[in-house]
Structure 1
Amino acid sequence: MTLSVQQRLAVTRLVAFDVDGVLTDGRLYYGPDGESLKVFHVRDGVGMKLLADQGIAVAVISAKDSPMLARRMQDLGVQHYFPGTKDKQACIQALCQALGIDAEQAVFVGDDMVDLVAMGWCGVGMAPADAYPIVQKQADLLLSSKGGEGVAREVADLILNAQNQYDSAYALSATPEFERRR
């Protein structure tokens, strides 16, 4: 029996996000000294915190490595951060094994062809609304948010709703403790 996406989200224990095109709008800003700026949406940070606070592991797997990204992951308290990763599927597979999580309990959110193998290995593959066309077609779920415009928050809401944790997660987010826990 094939489970619906909603049923698969209900058993999710790990969400892994690509960065450029998912947590950012995909544009790269270069100055004389190389990459100089990345823009992140505050809602994505809240979404990642909501997931972590409800016991869902959050990972960020990026082919690029930058000081701006490292700083953002530190600010958010992301425990599973893998910069400079060329084989995202092998990375998420190793992380699942280390955490005792089955592939069916993992979600990968990606936007381009390099993400397809990881997306296909996981129980659910998601893509932002503006993902590359073949990725949109192959994703289990095409999100309404564009890259850099709240993708992680939308993913968090979908999973928390599927797991009946939405109300409790948002009740916790309204307390001062939510920000102090990082």
Structure 2
Amino acid sequence: MFELSPDIRARAEKIKLLILDVDGVLTDGRIFIRDDGEEIKSFHTLDGHGLKMLQASGVRTAVITGRDAPSVGVRVRQLGISFYYKGIHDKRAAYADLREKAGVAEQECAFVGDDVVDLPVMVRCGLPVAVPDAHWFALRHAAYVTRHRGGAGAVREVCDLIMQAQGNLESALNGYIE
């Protein structure tokens, strides 16, 4: 369980939609490119299961990414992520479209990012989160910085944090030992 500040708890209690960047958040930020141009990415299973648990608690999930790698589309489908924006260069416009489609207010959105291209969403959402190795300017605008790095459990940490603030984490975890 987390020691949540009153501010983070209040922000996280309102979250109805968790939005994620991919490179540096769902992955460690490295991109492996095969000779044929295919991109290879590595995803952490802790993050995947955290997203499934968060979805089961009633919070929807989304991805907004600047790249368009087929492997990300596969992972998005595997995880049942509701909204997928790929090849996005204007994250502000994608965020506005996403909020309209999802029917959520800005304070009901959390976003996890790692670079300055994520700031148009981070500065507008209710719970802006950065991974610890994010660009310093993105870190400056985060309300919460994860203990875990991108691709190494950062997303799971955010899922657990939201569920804890909303009173769902303990019962979800206890379901595994009953």
Q: TM (normalized to structure 2)?
A: 0.91
In structure 1, C-alpha distance between the alignment counterparts of 2:77 and 2:101, rounded to whole Å: 21
Question: Do the aligned residues in 2 keep the contact of 1:126 with 1:141 (CA within 8 Å)?
Answer: yes
In structure 1, C-alpha distance between the alignment counterparts of 2:152 and 2:166, rounded to whole Å: 24
In structure 1, C-alpha distance between the alignment counterparts of 2:138 and 2:95, rounded to whole Å: 18
1:46 matched to 2:41? The reply is no
Equivalent residue number for residue 155 of structure 1: 158
Q: Map 1:5-154; keep pairs closer than 5 Å.
A: 5-154=8-157
**Equivalences, count:** 172
> 1:171 offset after TM fit, Å?
4.1
In the alignment, structure 1 segments of 5+ residues that lack a partner are 176-182
In the alignment, structure 2 segments of 5+ residues that lack a partner are 1-5
> 1:75 offset after TM fit, Å?
1.1
The residue type paired with residue 65 of structure 2 is S
Question: Do the aligned residues in 2 keep the contact of 1:53 with 1:169 (CA within 8 Å)?
Answer: no
Q: CA RMSD in A?
A: 1.5
Question: Do the aligned residues in 2 keep the contact of 1:28 with 1:35 (CA within 8 Å)?
Answer: no
The residue type paired with residue 143 of structure 1 is T
In structure 1, C-alpha distance between the alignment counterparts of 2:101 and 2:22, rounded to whole Å: 22
Aligned structure 1 segments of 4 or more residues deviating by more than 3 angstroms: none
The residue type paired with residue 34 of structure 2 is G
Q: TM (normalized to structure 1)?
A: 0.89
In structure 2, C-alpha distance between the alignment counterparts of 1:111 and 1:5, rounded to whole Å: 19
1:24-62 Cα distance to aligned partner (Å, 9 max, x none): 000011121114310000001011111111110100111
